[in-house]
A and B are shown apart, each in its own frame.
Chain A
Amino acid sequence: MLVLMRRAGEKLCLGSDIEVSVLEVRGDSVKIGIQAPRSVQVWRKEIYDEIVRQNVEAARTDIPKNLLDAIRKRTGDDGDDDGH
């Protein structure tokens, strides 16, 4: 891994069309600005990893029929009357 030291206000270039700016450093947080072509997607790594994990898990599931009924019930009436 390439490791570079930068200060607030300084920038990095990744290739010719991606620019990463260190905007602010406060405690253990760094505010970063990224300028990149729209074809480059930028994500917070932990969120992206979690989405991958969920999608892979979701793709394995089956949905029991009584669960479908419970959801249908939720949408069928307006939910005012739960029966008591």
Chain B
Amino acid sequence: MPRIIETSRFGALAAEDGDVIVFPKGIPGFDDHREWIIAGEDDDPIKWLQSLNDADVALPVTPPSVILDRYAPRFADEELEEVRLGSDENMMLLVVLSLPAGAPWDMTANLRAPIVLNHVKRIGKQIIALNEDYPLKAGVLPEPVRNALKAKTEKSEDAAAGAAAEPGGD
């Protein structure tokens, strides 16, 4: 029997028992949120880790391969084992994305503390990697793309503001 939650981002979501991923210790910042599901369109590169405890809480996440060619975090055995449960084959990683308000093109990915999932046992944990050189805020988009998005947004904002201002400086 699926649970229906009314989310602010996706409207009503049906969470089947088999979809639920348990984070026994929650996620830092959301320590009491033990149950999450992955939401989002199938073909979107960004998915959402949606809390079942609070319909308004969803973290944008993406598989590291979407933004990086090579990503090899190392974890303390004890920390990993809570999710690994004896077998490597069911493990997957997601990185949490942050989008600064008003400047989403400056999106960063937290490479230091990925979400580690066992997608068969449906257990997850955000683990701080031992790789000291992995940043908490790694830039995602290359600069030309960032600049293009920024310019496009400013242009459409100008257009929306009407033709009141002269486009000076050409």
Q: List the interface of chain A (C-beta within 8 A of B).
A: 38, 41, 43, 47-48, 50-59, 61-64, 66-68, 70-72, 74-75, 82
Contacts and interface: CB of A to CB of B under 8 A. Distances in A.
Nearest to A54: B98
Contacts of A41: 25, 79
Interface centre among B29, B43, B140, B144 (most CB of A within 10 A): B29
Contacts of A74: 66-67, 141, 145
Interface string B112-141: 110000000000001010000000110011
B46 A50 contact: no
A36 to B, nearest CB: 9
A43 B128 contact: yes
Interface of B: 9, 25, 27-30, 43-46, 51, 56-60, 62, 65-67, 78-79, 81-82, 96-99, 101, 104-105, 107, 110, 112-113, 126, 128, 136-137, 140-141, 144-145, 149, 152-153
Interface of B, secondary structure class, is mixed
A56 B28 CA distance: 9
Contacts of B140: 71
A59 B113 contact: no
A61 B59 CA distance: 8
Contacts of B97: 58, 61, 63
B126 A51 contact: yes
B13 to A, nearest CB: 16
A42 B5 CA distance: 34
Contact of B82 (A38, A63, A71): A38
A68 B46 contact: yes
A82 B107 CA distance: 20
Given A48-B128, A72-B45, A82 B144 contact: yes
Contact of A70 (B57, B81, B99, B149): B149
